Structure 1
Amino acid sequence: MNIALTTGWVGALLITSQLTFAQQSVTLPTDTTKSSTPAINISGSAKAEKKELKYNLNESGTHFFKATFLNQAWLQFNQSNPGSTVVGVPKDNTFSIGLRRTRMQLFGQISDHLFLYFQFGMNNFNYLNGGFNQTASSQRKIQAFFHDALAEYLVFKNKNYLNIGAGLTIVNGLSRFSAPSVGTIMSMDVPVFAQATTDQTDEFTRKLSVYARGQVGHLDYRVAVSDPFPIQTNGAALPTYGPNSIFALKGHEKQFQGFFMWQFFDKEAHQAPGYNTGTYLGAKKIFNLEAGFITQKNAMVRVPVAGDTVYQALNLWSIASFLDIPLNKEKGTAINAYLGYFHTDYGDNYLRFNGAMNPASDIPASQRPGGLGGTQGNSFPMFGTGSVVYGQFGYLLKRDLFGEGNGTLMPYVQAQLANYQRVANTLGVYNIGLNYLIKGHNGKLTLDYQNRPYYAPSSNTSQLSAAGRRGQLILQYQIFI
C-alpha cells in the first residue's frame, strides 16, 4: 500500500462519513467507554468546536473509527562535529530543512471488545533522505512505512483492567519516553536514548509483540514479549567483532519488557496502545511514580583479545517520577516535570553515537572517535553501557497570553547526564527551548537550543574524552489534528 492510496482512502472515508475538521488538545481521549464527540448544532448557534476526526459506529459513540494527522517541520542550524562532511565537502556548520515526523493514525473501538490501530508515516526526511542508510540514494520516495499495525482485545467490557494485543507495536518497557506521544511532548524532541534499541533490533522503536496492558485502580501496567529483528536487516553497515560489545550477529532470542506507573491523582490516557502523553497543558492533574525494564538473553556479543566469543544479555531498567499539573486553573498556568534514572547494560563497553535528523553525511575514518561510525554532524554518544539521569521542567504561562485566540508560551529546560564505560567523563547534553502554543499541541512553534560535547580521535579507542562542545538551534513548526 503506498501513501497516496492510503491517504485517498482516508479522505474518502472522512467525506462519506460527513466528518467535521477541528482541533484537539491531546492525542486521544482517556475513556473508551464514553463518546468524546459533541452534538452538532446545524443552526450554527453552538460555540464549541468538534474536537476530532471521528466517525461513530453506534449512536452512543462507544464504537467509532478515528483519524489523526501530524507534521513536524524543522529548520535546523548545526555547528558540526570536527571532520564532518556534507556530500563529500567538509562543513563546519549546516543549515537544513526537513521533516522530523509526518504521520497518520487510523484506529477505532470496533465493538465492545475489539480495538484496531494503525500508524503510517515517515521520519527524519531531509536532503540526505534521512536515516542511517546513506548509501541508498534512491530511497527518497519510499521513506513512509507502517509504524504500528495491531489488534487488541478488551477482556472486560467497558473496563480497561486487561487488554491483550498483538502485532507491530510501540508497547515498550523501560520508560514513558520509550513510547512517547510525539504530538503532545513538551519539548521539541524526546530523549531518544530512552528508545533503547531504535533501528538496531526494532523498526523505529516498534517490535512484533504480544502484550497485555491495563489500568487497575491507581496502577497502569504493560508487559510484552517481543520478537526482535536481526540487526542484519536494519539497512546499515554491520558492526564488527571486537573487545567492545555489539548487537549479536548470530542467534535469536525473545525480548521481555514491562512498564508500570502508580498514578496518584488523575488517570492518564489509555486508549492508544503504549503511547504516553507528554503534557496535558493543565487539563489534568498528574503525578506518577514509574518503573520499567527490557531484557533479552544473548542479545549482545564481544570477542576479547586472545579470547573466545562472549555472548551477553541486554538488561535495561529505569525508575522515574512524572508531574504535570495545573497551578492556576483560572489563568491556565501549569508545570511539567520529569526526573528519571536509567541503568543501561548493553554488554561490556557498548557505545553508539546518534544525532536526530543528522545534517552531515560522513566523517573521514581517521577522525572517527574510537573508530566508531556515525560520529559526524550533530551526533554524540547517545546509547551506551552505564547509567543516565534525565530531567526536564517546563512552565505553561497564562492562557491567551497574547490576547484571546492568539495562544501562549511554554518555556522548558532539559538535561541528559550519562556515565558510560567508554566515555571518560560525565556526558552532559543540555537543551533550552520555548513553545509558542498557537492552539495547544494542534498548532505550535518550538525554538530549541542544544549544547552537546564532541569527541576527537584518540589512540585510546577503549575510552573517549570530550574535546569541546558544539551547539544546535532548531525551529520546529507542528501541525496536528
Structure 2
Amino acid sequence: MKKILFGMAFCLLFIPKSFSQGNTEYTGGFKINFNEDGSKYLRIIAWGQFWAQYNDNVPDDASNLNLSVRRARLLTFTQLNKKFMILTHFGLNSLNGSNLSTTGKGESSQLFFHGFWGEWSLGKNISAGTGLHYWNGISRLNNSSTLNFLTLDNNRQSWAALGLSDQFARHLGVYVKGKVGRLQYRVSYNEAITNTLDAANDPVANGRAVYRGRELLGSGDAGKVVQGYFDYQFLDQESNFLPYKVGTYLGSKKVFNVGAGFLTHPNGVVVMDGAGNLEGENVNILAVDAFYDAPLGADGSAITAYAVFQNNDYGRNFNLGPYDTGNMIYGHVGYLIPAPADNSRIQPYLSYQTRTIDAIDDNATRLGLGINLFMTGHHSKLTLEYANSKVGTGDSNGVVTLQAQIYL
C-alpha cells in the first residue's frame, strides 16, 4: 500500500507546468443564445469524476485496487426571460466492475434525474419553484456542489436525509429562496419517499426507530418534510441563482458566512412498544456552520476553512450506516500554495469528523488528508486523499483514492 500511495503522490505532484491555472477560460458552460443580447438562452454543463481506490480492508478474494466512475452528470437550465427558469440535471453514480451491466440496462448503469424543477421570480430578490429540487436545509454541505469540493468528496453524514426521505439528496416539493440584505435563505416543503434505505428493517418491540413512517403509518399520518437554511454573508456575497454551494473559490473571492439550518419530518420514523403497538416519532436535524474562503496575498495563496455542528435526531437509537441519532462535529481546512498564474496550482487539505452514536453509546471518527492539483481550476484537476475511519471499538479502515475530474 505504501508503494501505491507514493506512486500516486509522485504522479500528482510532478505533472508538467504547461497547464493554465484558474477558470478564466470558463464562462458558465456551453451557452446557446436565442436572441442577440443573450437574455434567452440554454446553458449546458457536463462533468465526470473518475476514481482509482485502494482499500486494505477487503475480503481475501477481493481486489484491493478498484476503478470506478464516481459521477457522470449533465445539467441544463434555460430562461426565455428573467421571470422563469427550468433546470434539468441527470446522470449516474459509482459505476464499477461489480454493478456494470452486460447490455447497459442494469439498475446501476441507468441515468436518472438528480433534479428537475421550474422556478418563477416573485420579485427582485425572491423566487419560488417546484419539482425534484436541491434547495436543501440543514447546512452548507447539504447544499454542496459536486463540482468544486475542497475535499475529495462531501462529508457523507452532511447529506443527512439521502435515501431516507428524499431521492439522492433531492426532495420532491416546493421551495422559496431569496435574500434580505446580506442574509440569504432557502426553505422548502416536500413529499417523503415511501421506499427508504431502511425498508429491509422491521420495527421490533422496544427496538430502534425505523425510517418507514410514510410506508407504515400512511401518507396522512406521516408528515411532509420541511427544511431550511439561512446564512449571513459578511464579506463578498455569493450567488444564489442555483442552489449549489461552492467548496473552495481558490482565492477568487473573499467570503465569510455564518449559517444555521434545519430539517423536520413529523412521524418520519416508527417505533414499537412492548405490546407490539406502532407509533410515530419525529425526525429533527439542526446545524450551525461557518465558512471562510479568502486570498492571503498577491502571491496567489489562499485559505479555505469550514466547520459545522450538527444534531441528528432520527428517533430512538437509530443507527443505519452513515445515519445515527447523536451529534456531529466536522471541519476542514485547505491552503492554496503560491504559484505563477500560468502554472498548475497545489492545495493540500485536512478534514476531520467526530460524531456520537446513541445506539452504541460510542463515537465514530474520520480523518482525511489530501491534496488537489488544479490544472485549469476545478475544470481539470486531480485529487489524492487518504482517509482513516473508525466506528466505536472496531478496527480503523484506511482508504487511498485518486480522482481525476473534468467539467465543461
Please classify the TM superposition score into its range, dividing by the shorter chain length: 0.7 to 0.9
Distance 1:473 1:405, change over 3 A: same
For structure 1, which runs of at least 5 residues remain unmatched after alignment?
1-22, 27-47, 354-381, 455-464
Q: Cα distance, 1:227 vs. partner?
A: 0.6
Candidates 88, 94, 103, aligned match of 1:118: 88
Q: Which AA in structure 1 matches 2:394?
A: A
Q: Which AA in structure 2 matches 1:165?
A: G
Paired with 2:25 and 2:362, the residues of 1 have a C-alpha distance of: 53
Tell me the TM-score normalized by structure 1: 0.75
Candidates 115, 122, 128, aligned match of 1:155: 122
Distance 1:299 1:472, change over 3 A: same
Question: For the Cα contact (< 8 Å) 2:88–2:113, is it kept in 1?
Answer: yes
Candidates 334, 353, 363, aligned match of 1:394: 334
Tell me the TM-score normalized by structure 2: 0.87
Cα deviation code 1:151-180 (max 9, x no counterpart): 101122xx3x11110001111100111121
Distance 1:393 1:49, change over 3 A: closer
Paired with 1:320 and 1:338, the residues of 2 have a C-alpha distance of: 7
Candidates 406, 409, 412, aligned match of 2:349: 412
Q: Cα distance, 1:189 vs. partner?
A: 0.4
Paired with 1:119 and 1:69, the residues of 2 have a C-alpha distance of: 10
Residue 161 of structure 2 aligns with which residue? Answer: 197
For structure 2, which runs of at least 5 residues remain unmatched after alignment?
1-19
- Determine helix, strand or coil for the equivalent of 1:187: coil
Is 2:212 the counterpart of 1:212?
no
- Determine helix, strand or coil for the equivalent of 1:422: helix
- Determine helix, strand or coil for the equivalent of 1:247: coil
Paired with 2:366 and 2:108, the residues of 1 have a C-alpha distance of: 33
102-111 or 468-477: bigger deviation: 102-111
Candidates 256, 264, 267, aligned match of 1:287: 256
Candidates 214, 218, 240, aligned match of 2:202: 240
Q: Cα distance, 1:140 vs. partner?
A: 5.4
Paired with 1:261 and 1:112, the residues of 2 have a C-alpha distance of: 24
- Determine helix, strand or coil for the equivalent of 1:441: coil
Distance 1:348 1:153, change over 3 A: same
Paired with 2:208 and 2:143, the residues of 1 have a C-alpha distance of: 28
Paired with 2:26 and 2:112, the residues of 1 have a C-alpha distance of: 30
Question: For the Cα contact (< 8 Å) 2:22–2:374, is it kept in 1?
Answer: no
Residue 272 of structure 2 aligns with which residue? Answer: 303
Paired with 1:230 and 1:237, the residues of 2 have a C-alpha distance of: 9
Is 2:314 the counterpart of 1:346?
yes
Q: How many residues align?
A: 378
Paired with 1:79 and 1:352, the residues of 2 have a C-alpha distance of: 23
Question: For the Cα contact (< 8 Å) 2:21–2:374, is it kept in 1?
Answer: no
Q: Cα distance, 1:332 vs. partner?
A: 1.4
Cα deviation code 1:278-325 (max 9, x no counterpart): 111111110000000000110001224445323100100100111111
Candidates 156, 168, 171, aligned match of 2:135: 171
**TM alignment of 1:12-411, pairs within 5 A:** 49=25, 51=27, 52-80=29-57, 85=59, 90-91=61-62, 94-129=64-99, 139=106, 142-156=109-123, 159=124, 161-231=125-195, 238-242=200-204, 243-248=207-212, 249-250=215-216, 251-252=218-219, 253-272=223-242, 274-306=243-275, 308-328=277-297, 330-353=298-321, 382-400=322-340, 405-411=342-348
Paired with 1:300 and 1:237, the residues of 2 have a C-alpha distance of: 11
Residue 359 of structure 2 aligns with which residue? Answer: 422
Q: Cα distance, 1:217 vs. partner?
A: 1.0
Q: Which AA in structure 1 matches 2:395?
A: G
Question: Structure 1 or 2: larger strand share?
Answer: 2
Q: Cα distance, 1:427 vs. partner?
A: 1.3
Q: Which AA in structure 1 matches 2:228?
A: G
Question: For the Cα contact (< 8 Å) 2:385–2:400, is it kept in 1?
Answer: yes
Q: Cα distance, 1:59 vs. partner?
A: 3.0
Paired with 2:257 and 2:25, the residues of 1 have a C-alpha distance of: 31
Q: Cα distance, 1:331 vs. partner?
A: 1.5
